Structure 1
Amino acid sequence: MNAVAIADADTGGGSLHQRILSDISEKILSGAWAPGHRIPFEHELTDQYGCSRMTVNKALSQLAKAGLIERRRRSGSFVRQPQSQAAVLEIHDIRIEVEALGLAYRYERVARHKRRSTTEDRGLLELDAAGSVLALECRHFAGKRPFAHEQRLINLAAVPGAADEEFLDVAPGPWLIGRVPWSEAEHRIRAVAADRHIAAALDIGAGAPCLVVERRTWSAEHPVTHVRFTYAAESHTLVARFRPQG
Structure 2
Amino acid sequence: MIRADLEAKIFSGEWPPGTQIPFEEDLAAGYGCSRMTVNKVLTQLVAAGVIERRRKAGSFVRRPHSHSAVLEIVDIRREVEALGLAYHFEVVRSAVRPLAAADEARLALPAGAPILEITCRHFAARQPFCLEDRIISLDAVPEAAEMDFSDLSPGAWLVSRIPWSSAEHRIRAAGADVREAAALLIDAGTPCLVIERRTYDQDRPITHVRLTYPGDGHEMIARFAPNGA
- TM-score scaled by length of structure 2: 0.77
Q: Give the Cα separation in 1 of the matches to 2:113 and 2:82.
A: 39
**Per-residue deviation, 1:206:** 1.1
Q: Specify which structure has the higher proportion of strand.
A: 2
* Amino acid in the other structure paired with 1:26: P
3-state DSSP of counterpart to 1:96: helix
**Deviation string, structure 1 residues 65-108 (Cα, Å, up to 9, x no partner):** xx6579xxxxxxx9988513224111111111111111111101
Q: Give the Cα separation in 2 of the matches to 1:152 and 1:200.
A: 18
What is residue 226 of structure 1 aligned with on the other side?
Answer: 208
- TM-score scaled by length of structure 1: 0.72
Q: Give the Cα separation in 2 of the matches to 1:123 and 1:202.
A: 25
**1:103 lines up with 2:82 in the alignment:** no
Name which of 202, 207, 218 aligns with 2:189: 207
Structure 1: 5+ residue stretches without partners: 1-5, 34-39, 71-77
**Per-residue deviation, 1:140:** 0.3
**1:188 lines up with 2:188 in the alignment:** no
Shift of the 91–99 alpha-carbon distance from structure 1 to 2, 3 Å rule, reads: same
Which residues in structure 2 correspond to 1:34-45 (within 5 Å)? none
* Amino acid in the other structure paired with 1:108: E
**1:112 lines up with 2:94 in the alignment:** yes
**1:135 lines up with 2:113 in the alignment:** no
**Deviation string, structure 1 residues 194-244 (Cα, Å, up to 9, x no partner):** 111111000001111111100000012210000000011122211222222
Name which of 127, 131, 134 aligns with 1:152: 134
Shift of the 243–23 alpha-carbon distance from structure 1 to 2, 3 Å rule, reads: same
**Deviation string, structure 1 residues 110-142 (Cα, Å, up to 9, x no partner):** 000101111122221112464100000110011
Name which of 175, 185, 199 aligns with 1:217: 199
* Amino acid in the other structure paired with 1:228: R
What is residue 217 of structure 2 aligned with on the other side?
Answer: 235
Which residues in structure 2 correspond to 1:72-87 (within 5 Å)? 82-87=64-69
3-state DSSP of counterpart to 1:124: coil
Shift of the 139–21 alpha-carbon distance from structure 1 to 2, 3 Å rule, reads: closer
Does the 8 A contact of 1:141 with 1:147 survive in 2? yes
Q: Give the Cα separation in 2 of the matches to 1:160 and 1:105.
A: 28
Q: How many residues align?
A: 215
* Amino acid in the other structure paired with 1:234: D
**Per-residue deviation, 1:16:** 7.7
Does the 8 A contact of 1:68 with 1:83 survive in 2? no
3-state DSSP of counterpart to 2:81: helix
